[in-house]
Chains A and B, each alone.
Chain A
Amino acid sequence: MGTSTDQLELAATRGDAPGAPGNDVPVIQFEGVHKIYDLGEVQVHALRGLDVTIRRGEFVAIMGASGGGKSTFMNLVGGLDRPTRGLYKLDGVDVSSLDKVELAHIRNRKIGFVFQGFNLLSRTTALENVELPALYARLAPAERVERAREALRIVGLADREHHYPSQLSGGQQQRVAIARALMNRPSLLLADEPTGNLDSRTSVEIMGIFQRLNRERGITLVLVTHEPDIAQYAQRIITFRDGKIRRDERVPHPAAAEEVLKNMPVVGAED
Chain B
Amino acid sequence: MKQRPDKASAEASSSEEINITIESVDRRSALKYLGIGALGAVPLMVSAPVMNGLVRDVVKGTPADEGSAVAEPALTKSGRIRQWSMIIDLKSCDGCQSQGTPPQCTTSCIEGHLVPQPMEWIEVFEAELPGGGTQFIPTPCMQCEDPPCVKVCPVGATFPTPEGTVLIDQERCIGCRICMAACPYDRRFFNWGTPPAPPEAALADYNPDHQTPATVGTVMKCDFCPDMVRDGTLPMCVQACPNDAIWYGDLEEDIATNGRNIVKASRFISGNSGYRLKEHLGTKPRVFYLAGHGEDVGRDPDETGRMPTEWPWIQRAEGAVTWTR
The answer to whether A binds B is no
Which residues of A approach B to under 8 Å, CB–CB? none
